[in-house]
Chains A and B, each alone.
Chain A
Amino acid sequence: QVQLVESGGGVVQPGRSLTLSCAASGFTFSNFPIHWVRQAPGKGLEWVALISYDGTNKYYADSVKGRFTISRDNSRKTLYLQMNSLRVEDTAVYFCARGAVAGLYFDYWGQGTLVTVSS
């Protein structure tokens, strides 16, 4: 079955960096676009970033553009999110989500990893 497992979350001070990982299994990772979506505590869902199946195309929400970098290693079936210059408002659970073949929606989600930005 499709599995996405995030890791790398934790508590970090404002202005510092953190890298999240998402390990995939149960499907041909290199065939699918993958997204990061976040959810601040008690709030709604916010799309963060998208990477195409082969890593050549990347898209970002304005709120993270220039600070976050999405990447993937298809040989390791792993997605990454490098987060720099973190802000308090980046505090959220970060989900990786598989992009559907038919469109830019999300058909499978990981369990999420919590990032807390606090001094």
Chain B
Amino acid sequence: DIQMTQSPSSLSASVGDRVTITCRASQDISDYLAWYQQKPGRVPKLLIFAASTLQSGVPSRFSGSGSGTDFTLTISSLQPEDVASYYCQNYNRAPMTFGQGTKVEIK
């Protein structure tokens, strides 16, 4: 199975800061990478698929990049409503695997 490793596991940043979360796959997954946001007590929400394609309705301050084994989720200007856990997911083939998550808080 493909292992997905996210870093950091948590971060604290100020409103307006640029925030970057990384995700590394244990083998080449091309661009079969999705990112999800899960706010406290809520259901996960798709943010990005195909490594860099923004899901409809997602604010443009979110962006994704990368291919192969190394990927990045960037929030260009952190907002209070972005407090959440973020998960990357490999969907190259079954079993689909998630990173362990990154918890984002406001400083």
Contacts and interface: CB of A to CB of B under 8 A. Distances in A.
A37 B87 CA distance: 13
A104 B96 contact: yes
A50 B94 contact: yes
A47 B89 CA distance: 10
Interface of B: 1, 32, 34, 36, 38, 43-46, 49-50, 55, 85, 87, 89, 91, 93-101
B93 A104 contact: yes
Contacts of B34: 103, 105-106
Contact of A100 (B49, B85, B87, B93): B49
A45 B98 contact: yes
Nearest to B1: A62
Contact of B91 (A37, A61, A103): A103
Interface stretch (A12-20, A68-76, A77-85, A109-117): A109-117
Q: Which one of B34, B43, B50, B97 has the highest number of Cβ atoms from chain A below 10 Å of its Cβ?
A: B43
B66 to A, nearest CB: 15
A89 interface: no
A59 interface: yes
A106 B37 CA distance: 12
Contacts, number: 65
B98 A44 contact: yes
B46 A106 contact: yes
Across chains A and B, which 9 residue pairs bring their CB atoms closest together, nearest first? A104-B91, A105-B34, A59-B94, A47-B96, A45-B98, A44-B101, A109-B43, A105-B91, A44-B100
Interface of A: 35, 37, 44-47, 50, 59, 61-62, 95, 100, 102-112
Contacts of B1: 62
Q: Which one of B32, B46, B97, B101 has the highest number of Cβ atoms from chain A below 10 Å of its Cβ?
A: B46
B49 A103 contact: yes
B95 A62 contact: yes
A107 B46 contact: yes
A45 B50 contact: no
Contact of A47 (B55, B98, B100): B98
Given A44-B98, A47-B98, A104-B96, A109 B91 contact: no
